[in-house]
Amino acid sequence: MRDIFFDLSVRSVRLNFMRSLLASIGIVIGVVAISSMGMLGANMQLSVKQQLSIDVNTIMISSDVVRTSTTAGAPSTSQGVTKSQFNDIKNAAGTNVVIPIHRTNTQFTIGSTDGRGSIYGLEPDDIEKFLTIRVGEIPRGANDAVVGSNLATNFNLVVGTRIKIGPANTENRPTVRVSGILPARGFASDGVNTDNAIIVPDTWYTNQYGDKDVYDQVNVIVKDVDTIGAVETAIDEKVNRKTDVIRINDASGRLTSITQTLGTITTFILAIGGISLVVAAVSIFNVMMMSVNERVHEIGILLSIGTEKGEVRRMFLYEAFILGLIGAVVGGICSLVIGYSVVSAMIGNTTYFFMPDSILYVPEGMVIGIVVCIVSGLYPAWKASNMDPIDALRSE
């Protein structure tokens, strides 16, 4: 059988149904605001994290040794990753994909227009491991090349267009033929910025620029992003045995900072949602004070016939809890519907909606709604329980 004080609270809520309902609507709005804002933030974070994770599975390795030229005034250049270091890296990386990269800057001429950009030397088989071709195909012939999207747009390149590589005033410049065009890649976190670049087969590159056994960069693409730290340590231990000869980087720091920023944004929008709960709390407080003031005489009866103060407090806290519960349950249901619509409209992707990080905002919002109600009811309940029974009985 139920607690009689709970029954009394239920009956009081029922007696003042409209007023209680309106106060609960405040909580409904608060719960919906917190839950949907939270879910929106969580879905945004999860979706961005997923997008960025595709990039952050790459470890970038470059030489840590700077070659000082013996000729005075000549610029110092990086020595590059040597063939033996590359083999060590490959051993340490295990089954993960290891891609050696050559890179330099060059001038070129397309038709009669001169340009400037990066030129990458990659094994044709490696290209497909981390790049997609938008138009055409990977280099098949020795003089084939793929070009970045900006370059293709700016110079109206199509498959078959020929590009002369080297400064415009040199004679007998080598020519490559465009076999494929890459999609826009933006600022790539794996250090291979292809948008303004020409990618040629590694053999072509080393024939032109030398450095056959020295690479400008080596990328390791790990299969499981969570093992990136372990792979980095393995490479470091293997290659940087005596002194640091290679520098190992990854983009996970960037991912962390972006997710942290998104986390801050989520907290901010949650705080905005929280404001509506504060407003709801004021309305619950108001309704509870009304309930106490209307029932002064009844409180007087309860206290005079031996009801403990704690029991009177309990009765009013139950009432606040009931208002909170109604608000939280309705709010929880509305949150699912509204949250789903908001996430679907603003992010366009509801894949992560039912994941714990996102959906847990609904019970969290509900609990916060109930707690807010109970906290709002504390003072009215305290006031009721501390009434003087004689004064309370006298008020009719």
Partner 1 sequence: MDNCKTEEEMKGSEMGENPLIRLVDVSKVYRLESGDFTALNHVSLDIMENEFVAIMGPSGSGKSTMLNQLGILDVPTTGELSIDGKNVSHMTNLERTHMRRDTIGYVFQKFYLIPLLSAYENVEYPLILRYKHRDTTGKAAAVLKSVGFDEEMSSHRPSQLSGGQQQRVAIARALVNDPKIILCDEPTGNLDRKTGIQIMDLLAGLHQKGKTVILVTHDQKIAEYAHRTIQLDDGRVVGS
Closest approach of Cβ 298 to partner 1, in Å?
A: 6
Report if residue 271 touches partner 1, rule: CB under 8 A: no
Helix, strand or coil, per DSSP, at residue 197:
strand
**77-78/66-67 β-pairing:** antiparallel
Helix, strand or coil, per DSSP, at residue 347:
coil
Q: What is the dihedral of CA 303, 305, 310, 315, to 10 degrees?
A: -80
> Among the candidate windows 81-89, 126-134, 334-342, 388-396, which touches partner 1 by CB under 8 A?
388-396
Report if residue 15 touches partner 1, rule: CB under 8 A: yes
CA 113, 118, 119 angle in degrees (round to 5)?
A: 95
Sequence-ordered list of residues with C-beta below 8 angstroms from that of 310, at least 6 positions apart, any chain: 385
Q: Which is nearer to partner 1, 2 or 242 (CB)?
A: 2
Closest approach of Cβ 323 to partner 1, in Å?
A: 16
Q: Which is nearer to partner 1, 290 or 393 (CB)?
A: 393
Q: Which is nearer to partner 1, 234 or 302 (CB)?
A: 302
Closest approach of Cβ 346 to partner 1, in Å?
A: 47
Q: Which is nearer to partner 1, 84 or 386 (CB)?
A: 386
Q: Which is nearer to partner 1, 11 or 129 (CB)?
A: 11
Query: What are the φ and ψ backbone dihedral angles of 177, each rounded to 5 degrees?
Result: -115, 130
Q: Which is nearer to partner 1, 272 or 390 (CB)?
A: 390
Q: Which is nearer to partner 1, 17 or 187 (CB)?
A: 17
Closest approach of Cβ 327 to partner 1, in Å?
A: 22
Q: Are 382 and 313 in contact (CB under 8 A)?
A: yes
What is the footprint of partner 1 within residues 291-320 (CB under 8 A)?
298, 301-309, 311
Closest approach of Cβ 314 to partner 1, in Å?
A: 12
> Among the candidate windows 9-17, 115-123, 196-204, 369-377, which touches partner 1 by CB under 8 A?
9-17
Report if residue 72 touches partner 1, rule: CB under 8 A: no
Element (H, E) at 262: helix 252-294
Closest approach of Cβ 315 to partner 1, in Å?
A: 10
199 backbone φψ class: left, alpha, beta (φ>0; ψ -120 to 50): beta
Report if residue 8 touches partner 1, rule: CB under 8 A: yes
Nearest to 13 by CA among 336, 357, 368, 326: 326
Report if residue 382 touches partner 1, rule: CB under 8 A: no
Q: How far apart are CA 229 and CA 59, in angstroms?
A: 9
Q: Which is nearer to partner 1, 271 or 390 (CB)?
A: 390
> Among the candidate windows 125-133, 236-244, 375-383, 386-394, which touches partner 1 by CB under 8 A?
386-394
Rg (CA), the chain: 34
> Among the candidate windows 2-10, 49-57, 102-110, 161-169, which touches partner 1 by CB under 8 A?
2-10
Structure tokens at 208: 């032109």
* Inter-helix orientation angle 17-55/252-294, to 10°: 180
* Inter-helix orientation angle 361-385/252-294, to 10°: 30
- How many Cβ atoms sit within 10 Å of the Cβ of residue 394? 11
# chain residues binding partner 1, by CB under 8 A: 23
Q: Using CB under 8 A, pick the residue from 1, 18, 74, 345 that binds partner 1.
A: 1
Burial of 54 (0-12, 13-18, 19+ CB in 10 A): exposed
Q: Using CB under 8 A, pick the residue from 12, 109, 194, 283 that binds partner 1.
A: 12
Q: Are 351 and 43 in contact (CB under 8 A)?
A: no
Q: Which residues bind partner 1 (CB under 8 A)?
A: 1-2, 4, 7-8, 11-12, 15, 298, 301-309, 311, 389-390, 393, 396
